[in-house]
Amino acid sequence: MTTAAVIVAAGRGSRAGGDRPKQWQMLAGQPVLAHTIAAFRGRVDRLVVVIHPDDRAAAQAIAGDALLVEGGATRAESVRNALEALAGSGLRHVLIHDGARPAVPGAVIARVLAALEASAGAAPALPVTDALWRGDGGLVRGTQDRAGLWRAQTPQGFRFEAILAAHRAHPGGAADDVEVARAAGLDVAIVDGDEANLKVTFPGDFARAEAMMKDRNMDVRLGNGYDVHAFTEGDHVWLCGVKVAHDRALLGHSDADVGMHALTDAIYGALAEGDIGRHFPPSDPQWKGAESHIFLRHAAGLMRARGYELGNCDVTLVCERPKIGPHAAAMQAALAAIMGVDAGRVGVKATTSERLGFTGREEGIAALATACLVRA
Ligand SMILES: Nc1ccn([C@@H]2O[C@H](COP(=O)(O)OP(=O)(O)OP(=O)(O)O)[C@@H](O)[C@H]2O)c(=O)n1
Ligand SMILES: C[C@](O)(CO)[C@H](O)COP(=O)(O)O
């Protein structure tokens, strides 16, 4: 395991108003916190959500496999509780994010992760663009030079052991984890933040966050993939990540998983990134006999690096035999795990070609796939 995300959501949201804490109010049909958790799925190896003890039942309903940890009286205490819960698990990096920032773009998370390769800490921020005043009693009393001033956002990322030690040594009262890290002498790189990554703080922020999400959901990309592999002698085939016993095998440079290849090409297609052959040339001997999850994992990684997430995908296998129905659920689960998405976003089905053509004559298997990518 290398990277975890800690999502702090134990506050009471007193400034946001409403009949429940802001992270439990609805936004685009789901609790604020459900959007925040979804933004990190598939991007980190482990998720921790820090909750208030009163919210355990609500949190269990949306947390999936995330670890739930109880928070403290301040944000810093909540973060510390999560870091202590992760201590000793061999983590390299940790991203610490406000549960109240539900519209964090995937590209911001990717920028923080990339910057951590060269720095002990990295955090997104936006430069201050408005003039700054000091005011008192309703009057402007002075001005403040804005040069070099930034508006801090999250996720703030750190080498795990370094930020754990920094929190243990800090006296408390820090506004964020960058302050804690700097107090311990760590360098923190600034990466580009995003206006969409606003923190829901006041009542009007719910509508702003929802508008940001709607704009983003309009950026939809479709890709299709098609692949064929011929039968040869053997006793099993690999289809959509599942080994299926059969009286033939599929012939190919890799493991010839025709369904996974079609899906991988559909994702590359949606990104205008060519096909598997461009990224893993068949002329390169290192890919001989390669397991196809390497290709699909790469396509899913590229999708996230470009700031997209999988809306859904659908694979159709065309063959007379083997029968796919009994394996379809396992295939959905295998593809979903490789791409880091819920199985409900992955369709796998099959058809025969009514004994017509090369699939009908059982000379090989064909596969078609469609992938829908949405701006993360
Ligand atoms: N004891 C606390 C306080 C805050 N937070 C979390 O830290 C994030 C940023 O804090 P803020 O926006 O100040 O949230 P609240 O403390 O809930 O809001 P308010 O100050 O308006 O009460 C939020 O996701 C909040 O849930 C936390 O986990 N534990
Ligand atoms: C961590 C933070 O989101 C950085 O902008 C912020 O400091 C926490 O929120 P608060 O409103 O300052 O409590």
**Annotated domain spans of the chain:** 3-135+148-217, 220-375
- Number of Cβ within 10 Å of residue 254's Cβ equals 21
pLDDT at 282: 85
CATH class given for the domain over 220-375? alpha beta
pLDDT at 158: 98
Q: Which residue has the tokens 């984890």?
A: 177
The phi-psi region of residue 52 (left if phi > 0; otherwise alpha if psi is between -120 and 50; otherwise beta) is beta
Residue 152 CB–ligand 2 contact under 6 Å: yes
Residues 6+ apart with CB under 8 A from 257: 238, 239, 240, 241, 250, 292
Give the separation between CA 199 and CA 208, rounded to whole angstroms.
10
pLDDT at 1: 58
Q: Whose CA is nearest to atom 18 of ligand 1?
A: 13
Q: If you measure from the C-alpha of residue 143 to the centroid of ligand 1, how many angstroms do you get, rounded to a whole number?
A: 30
Instruction: Yes or no: say if 154 and 112 are a contact pair by the CB < 8 Å rule.
Output: no
Cα 260 to Cα 51, 137, 264, 332, 344, distances in angstroms: 38, 66, 6, 11, 17
Binding site annotation covers 275? Answer: yes
Q: Is 0.80 surpassed by the pTM of this model?
A: no
Q: If you measure from the C-alpha of residue 42 to the centroid of ligand 2, how many angstroms do you get, rounded to a whole number?
A: 25
pLDDT at 223: 98
Give the closest residue to 206 by CA, choosing from 198, 195, 217, 194.
198
Residue 199 CB–ligand 2 contact under 6 Å: yes
User: Phi, psi at residue 148, to the nearest 5°?
Assistant: 80, 10
Structure letter (DSSP) for residue 66: P
**Tokens of residue 57, six digits:** 């039942």
Q: Which of 8, 50, 98 to mutate to test the pocket of ligand 2 (most atoms within 8 A of CB)?
A: 98
Residue 80 CB–ligand 2 contact under 6 Å: no
Pairing label, strands 30-31, 26-27: antiparallel
Q: Which helix (H) or strand (E) holds 345?
A: none
Q: Whose CA is nearest to atom 13 of ligand 2?
A: 175
- Any idea which fold 3-135+148-217 has? Spore Coat Polysaccharide Biosynthesis Protein SpsA; Chain A (3.90.550)
Q: If you measure from the C-alpha of residue 11 to the centroid of ligand 1, how many angstroms do you get, rounded to a whole number?
A: 4
**ipTM for the predicted complex:** 0.95
Residue 98 CB–ligand 2 contact under 6 Å: yes
Binding site annotation covers 354? Answer: yes
Residue segments in the chain with a per-residue pLDDT below the cut of 50: none
The residue count of the chain comes to 376
Q: If you measure from the C-alpha of residue 197 to the centroid of ligand 1, how many angstroms do you get, rounded to a whole number?
A: 16
pLDDT at 241: 98
Binding site annotation covers 227? Answer: yes
Cα 43 to Cα 70, 269, 301, 319, distances in angstroms: 23, 21, 9, 35
Q: If you measure from the C-alpha of residue 145 to the centroid of ligand 2, how many angstroms do you get, rounded to a whole number?
A: 22
Binding site annotation covers 228? Answer: yes
Binding site annotation covers 261? Answer: yes
The phi-psi region of residue 362 (left if phi > 0; otherwise alpha if psi is between -120 and 50; otherwise beta) is left
Q: Note the pLDDT tens digit of each residue in 214-233.
A: 877 778 999 999 999 999 99
User: Phi, psi at residue 243, to the nearest 5°?
Assistant: -85, 120
What is the full DSSP assignment across 30-47?
EEHHHHHHHHHTTTSSEE
